[in-house]
Structure 1
Amino acid sequence: MHFIHPLPKKIKNNIHVIYKRSIREELSPEHHTCMFNKNDDPFPEDQIESNNLINKLNNHNKLNFIKNINKRNAINKEDDSEITIEIAVFADYLMIKHFYDIYGKENHMKELKRFIIATVNNVDSLYRHQTLNSNIHFRLKRIDVMESQPSELESIKHDNGDVNKLLKSFCEYQHKMKPVERKDPRYWDHALLFTGFDIYSGDIKSIAGFAPVKGMCSEVRSCTINEGIDFGSVFVVTHEIGHNLGMYHDGQNECHTDCCIMAPSIGSGKTEWSTCSSTEMKVFVQKLGTEPNRAPNCLKVSAKKSKNLNTLPGQDYTINEQCRLFHGKCWRHGLRSHQKLENICQMIWCTDDNEKFRTSHPALEGTYCGEGKICFGGKCVETKMDLKKIDGGWGDWLENPYCGQIESNKCEKCQIDGQLIFKKEYRYCENPFPNNGGKLCVGDDIRGKVCNERLCSSDISIQQYIDNVCKIKSKLPKNIILKMTEKGLHFEKDLCKVWCFIKESTSIKTVEDMPNGTPCGKDSFCLNGECKSLTCNGTILGGDNNDCNLMKNKNLKSPIMTSEWESWLSWSNCSVKKCGEIGYKRRIRICKGSSCSGQDFEEAKCKINCLISENIWLNWGEWSECSSSQCGEKGKQVRTRKCSGEKCNGSEIESQICQIICLKNNGKFTTWSSWSECSPIIDCKTETFRKRTRDCWSATSHDPTCNGKKEEIELCPRTKCIK
């Protein structure tokens, strides 16, 4: 019987606690330490019998021995028999608040009940695991969601979650609520409280579960309390009920501590039962009702097995939902570099938008772990179940994101001339979550809702903004080492990033995103570093036109119209001429329309490469003057060139015939001057020379002409060259 309604405490002996993970433990919940104390066992003689059976089991054929044990144990009377434990689940008002915060007013009660059923189903599945060698089945008799806290469970009665006081209060409360007669169809064998209190004991703040030892079938002691805010509680509840059914910790018996559900700490891959746990439970259940101080055997035996659950909890809760419920809405499943999907059956890893990883718990039974496979018994196994692929679907657009810094739903500030002003909206692939290999959602998960149809006006251009950013970033130590300059580039292949030049190189580096709304093309603007187009008649940036009929923005009078740039013209020549030097080149574009957003020019670094080659001739020098000094007479003139290496093919001197044109003579030459000194010796291969001059003079003309040359040059005699 399931019902939900508002409803209006004290045992300290024979109890134990189990630790939960600290919220600060980001990498592993392995150390959920259980403070079980075997001295609290009201029937310690059972353990002696259990250990003897285990030792005997180690010395005989294991399979045959287990069959013999099963034949005489009350827990497994027939091969096809089934033991049923009927449970009642209570959830306090803080659990309601927790689910209200996650799912909202309309869905929180439905989701809380769904969570309770999935948790009990998964506990049921773990108790059916073949390593326990029993046919235990949990039947959910009652769900009691307490919208107002009963007086017996008010926080003042248990000091806001003291484990001893809360367990005592709850065990007495459930006993008060339980029908007196065992034959009453509303009667239950075991009661479980999911609480939203952060339960503790003294200074120990990390307790997750609490239960009396060997209390099953007792009127007052067959009860468990557990923090129920996520599916980590599945393994805590399973562990706690194990103690209630007579199980010790592995390691306090004849079994190792590192493999199984009853290990002192819960962790990765611990989804099986040890032989010790199986034997201890059988011994305890077998003795129920056999002695005056033992509770009667309340466990119901049926010759017919219950039908398998129609839906395993891992099919009802996708792996992303399991992460979200464990860590919060910001989280989803993630695989680290060395992991495979099948590893989730031992431990799920969850990640957030900052790529931070945390563990949660082994995946619920039935969780998809590969094509045609599900998690079962802590392993990824093939299944004959019809795993229907469920494609992901988008949820509604939201004004604030689930994760990260909450934005106050204000329009972006104007930072650059021509910038589009909008406010962001978000949506998530959660309606439904993809499952069983279904497709992820297609489309944008963020968009801009335009605030004004006019582009903003600012004194800062795109190039100025980029240069300002590069100037700031260039002073960072890592960029100083990189030799980043204070000048940047609006790179046409990625217009939504700030690019800065690197000194003595033609390389550029991106340092951050351009502001949201920066123009990046025709009717296109930047959004989170990506260029997005306007949709919905200019009212939305990004998204798609399929959402336009859902728009309720009545402030926009018309779609945004932008002018259009023509294509860029060719680059200019590099500003430097000397090879090896770094310069700049420039190009421009023309605006087609009244006003275009952005710069009408852009600059880029350039470099003239040096041609490094040996044994080639350099360019010829100038021709010498004609060797003849008289007009009309033929002479010779020469020019030279130099070799870039040691030896070049061909001659370094070239000559041609020349002739001085006779001009009307209205002047005459003065006498030649004395020869000058020889030119300096540069190297042993270079000739030296000397020269003399004369002037053309006339008494009647300020610009006389003379036939002949005004200067003569001759080679100097060779002298001994000293290297």
Structure 2
Amino acid sequence: MMVNADRRPDSGKVRLPLQVSQLVVRHMMVNADRRPDSGKVRLPLQVSQLVVRHMMVNADRRPDSGKVRLPLQVSQLVVRHMMVNADRRPDSGKTEEPEERSYSLIIDNKEHFLHLQKNTEFLSKSFVQFSHDAAGNLTPAYPKPDVHCYYHGDVEDHEESLVALSTCSGLRGVILLGNQSYGLEPVKQSTNNEHLLYRLEHSQSEPFVCGVTNETSRTESHSSFDPSLSMTALLRRKRNLPQTRYVELVLVADFLRYTYKKKNETAVREEMVELANLLDGYYKRLNIRVVLVGLEIFKEANPFSVEGSAGEVLGLFVKWRKTVLLPRIRHDDAQLIVGLAGAYAGGILGMAFVGTVCSMATAGGINVYSGDGLGYVSTVVAHEMGHNLGMNHDDSRCSCNGGSCIMAASATGSTLFSDCSASDFERLVLRGGGVCLLNQPSQSNIVSVGKCGNGMLEEGEDCDCGTPQECTNKCCDAATCKLTWGSACAQGACCKDCKISVSGTPCRGSVNSCDLPEYCNGSTSYCPSDFYIMDGLLCENNAAYCYEGRCQTYDYQCKHLFETGASKAADICFQTANLKGDAFGNCGMTSSGTYVKCSLANAMCGKVQCTNVNTNNPPPGGSVSNQIIDGSSCVNADFNLGSDVLDPAYVNQGSPCTKGKACLDFQCVNASALLPVDLHCDANNTCNSRGVCNNQGHCHCNDGWGPPNCAKSGRGGSVDSGPAQIDYSLRDGLLIFFLLVVPILVLLVLVLLYVFRRDTLERCLKGPRSRRSSQCLHIHHPLPQDPGMEKTTIGTNLLPPSHLSPSKAQVFPNPSLPSINPDRNTPSNIMWGSSLIRHCKFHICILLTFV
């Protein structure tokens, strides 16, 4: 029912007898300058609970008291949103959305006001979209949104609230109120701007199961948790990790999703940007910002199969990411959106690796997105990203105000992270993980209008440490977002005491024999990205191989799983247990969920077998098996971390299964398979045996040799990680010059002066009186001669004594000369001249010596 902008609804009642599971409500949008009448439109329905009303209001106004009451018990509510002047935007003629918007919403008989501000930090200016044409050619594009219509906000008077919406084509997003999360989106093919408002927990007909691939497990139990303090704890946690982390994200939409959107590339892009906006809203509470830097759309066909088990698809995706996507777009994490009609076997809608956000090989996840419930799918993607960020599944000790959380093993549509998840991420950071999250996206790469005090370094700002009340950085002026006087930097591992560290200063040490240290370059306050030795190179005295920055040994994995005293068990343990094909010995699982027996040749690549393990203290979340085989103790663990978590008790990729071979995908293969096919670097030839190859294929030179090929003397390091030594040459040169060269030069000058002027000094001091006097007088400028003056008269300010009385002659003495007391028996003019000659004799001779 379309209404005129100047009309108001009648006060008559509208009865809607319900016989379906969804309730359709016609809802009128009022003009920004008008308010609805006080007449109420009552819908006396014999169902209860959810009450919703949605009205557009002016940002400075609130709607009148007229209410539309909808007492419902149904899981979904369709709100017919009838927009007045639907095609008009504020300030007619402009295409830009307002910076702030406000809405009124009634839920559970209470009116709530949503206050929104544009989210200007989540979309990179260098955002690039890749697509493949029919011929398989790759087409890059750099689309910019015609109108920025993405908002974040909160609900007035509700501290524990979150709103993340887009207004690009209707309203779409998520509303968090207390421990309840609601989704809002337009109704497809509606001619009256109808919108669907629903609880996210009711939007999935089947339970969602996460199936995670876990390289690390929670090794510490959760601390005690008070549900009533969940949000306060999160805010406090944010202060414990004061430096904001930035996840540079790439989303990949597969061909099935592209087909579902009727092969509309623009529709897919807008959907993915909206998804990133929601993700950024969820993670802001943990002081993590999500920045969308890239999107890839498979327009013709998927380059790898998305059929089979979730684990198989995840493995194929991260391999494609490492070899194809990473070289094109630098990013920290990638998520694949799969448009399957249903979940993978076991009800799995998502799967990801745990704690691998900065890994080149495993920083990714897969997510099933069927239908149009973007709000619900955003919680699934947030869940899988959480695994990449080191978060494990929540257990009974974790809560979110008594409700479920994002990291619950079975998703319920929650948009909150528990305190357990915050602790897991903090642990990842404290362990040295997530180093790639510290490099803030370039100021020029953020689509934003700079706003001082939001904690995001934007164009035109030197620094941004938050509001003046929050800022504790002495190098940054919070009021102006400029560096304080005398400061050259405000943050970063290469910023010390507000000064940029000199080139060669260590900023990140190596954590194992396959990791490489990084150094400040002297021009920026940030440490370079983390680099490590190229995959496939030997380590541990040539007994193991480097893979993903770690020397992959069985001993390391046993210590990591159990305790420091644990070590690799005898080979017979592997060759016996892994051939059984049960929970404690296998080479993976099939798509139907059955265990795969290892062949004898691949037995060393199944479940890791350890010894010297205290079985009375099993690892958290693990069940321990202890067997004695041929007199050897064989201990293994099976971890029940969820179907979306790869059991961490499997042998790590790259482990040496036998001489010259390594484990790769549960198979013992030639170790050369670990070497990157796209990198051509050899330590002996490329680096002249004076360095090693890093994961970029560049030489990391030993001390004393310089990159790129370690052929010439230098300060070590590489073109990636910076010079390994501080350049002291200038300092040492200046010290040598001032402490050695300058004193020698001064001494030499003094000796030469003494030798060449000695004769002059002797003549001046020892010569005849007449000669000395003439020399003394000769160096002065000639005096004006007066015929009436005596020749012995000296000075321009002294009158001839013949013209002055003795008393007047004493009135004008030269202050630098000794006083003259003329003898009555001596002529005054003779006494005057001789006194001057005696006074100047010594000083003039010394002057002659040094001239």
TM-score (norm 2): 0.27
TM-score (norm 1): 0.31
Question: Which structure's CA Rg is the greater one?
Answer: 1
